[in-house]
Amino acid sequence: MINATQKAYNEILRRILSLELPPGTYISRNDLAEQLEISKTPIREALQLLEQDKLVKIFPQSKTLVTKINIDEIKRSNFFRVAVEIEVLREMIEKYDEKTLAKIERNLKKQEEISEDVTRLNEFDELDKEFHSIMFNSIGQDELNELLRSKMGHKKRANRLELPINGKIKKLYEDHKSIYDAIKEKNFKKAEKAMRTHLSRTISRIDDLKKEKPYFFD
């Protein structure tokens, strides 16, 4: 059972990553405590954790600001993510586990069902997270997955800006399918190429995204 601080952290993080709390928004600790029906101490502790993740800026005796999306943070975190996920692929292929592939297949089937429905962004987000988590879990690296996720807040928000674009969800599903196919073939080079393509999509459009929504970026 998670404690109150973790509960608050998870919920505020969800709101930030989904852009329910957009970059540049001031948030009230009192309002959060009331909305989440928990005391102010767990809220304060959760916000301190989110400040470590560089997703909020705390002003003492005042409100807390949701940070704007920082392109340098996106590039740094993506460099880290690419390196880690490629090594995860390498170890997955070396170990090759049919049960893991079956889990990925079930996940991909759900992705395909909603891949052309832009009204189900939150659902796709969860399936995307699950897809990558299955891979980390298969090699016993759940903690590394959590560490990586804590570094990806700026890129995750940029990704979310793109999700409503027609065809974006389907393209991500197709990326995931290509990664899965390469793992099933035990073809590391093909899997690596598919993963690099997948993780570079938002990076390749980041300047355009900033031009389209400059108020969300530093």
Q: What is the pLDDT of residue 1?
A: 60
Average pLDDT over residues 52-58: 96
Helix axes 153-162, 188-204, angle to 10 degrees: 80
> What does the mean pLDDT of the chain come to?
94
CA 50/CA 55 separation, integer angstroms: 6
Condensed to tens digits (0 to 9), the pLDDT of residues 5-15 reads 999 999 999 99
CA 53/CA 76 separation, integer angstroms: 13
Q: What is the pLDDT of residue 166?
A: 75
Map out the domains of the chain as residue ranges. 4-66, 71-216
Token reading at 172: 């991500």
Average pLDDT over residues 128-148: 96
CA 138/CA 169 separation, integer angstroms: 25
Q: What is the pLDDT of residue 63?
A: 85
Condensed to tens digits (0 to 9), the pLDDT of residues 61-106 reads 778 999 999 999 999 999 999 999 999 999 999 999 999 999 999 9
Amino acid letter, residue 45: E
Whether residue 12 contacts residue 32, with contact meaning beta carbons closer than 8 Å, is answered with yes
Flag whether pLDDT at 182 surpasses 80: yes
CATH class for the domain made up of 4-66: mainly alpha
Whether residue 56 contacts residue 50, with contact meaning beta carbons closer than 8 Å, is answered with yes
Residues contacting 49, CB < 8 A, separation 6+: 5, 9
Asked if the domains at 4-66 and 71-216 fall in one CATH topology, the answer is: no
What proportions of the chain, in percent to the nearest 5, are helix, strand and coil? 75, 5, 20
CA 85/CA 205 separation, integer angstroms: 21
Q: Is 53 exposed, middle or buried (0-12, 13-18, 19+ CB in 10 A)?
A: middle
Helix (H) / strand (E) containing 66: strand 64-66
Q: Is 29 exposed, middle or buried (0-12, 13-18, 19+ CB in 10 A)?
A: middle
- From residue 165, give the alpha-carbon distance in Å to each of 72, 80, 118, 160: 24, 26, 8, 10
| Three-state secondary structure call for residue 64 | strand
Least confident residue range of 89-98, 102-111, 130-139, 161-170: 161-170
CA 49/CA 53 separation, integer angstroms: 7
CATH class for the domain made up of 71-216: mainly alpha
Residue 168: how many other CB atoms lie within 10 Å = 19
Q: What is the pLDDT of residue 167?
A: 86
Closest CA to 194 of 207, 205, 209, 184: 184
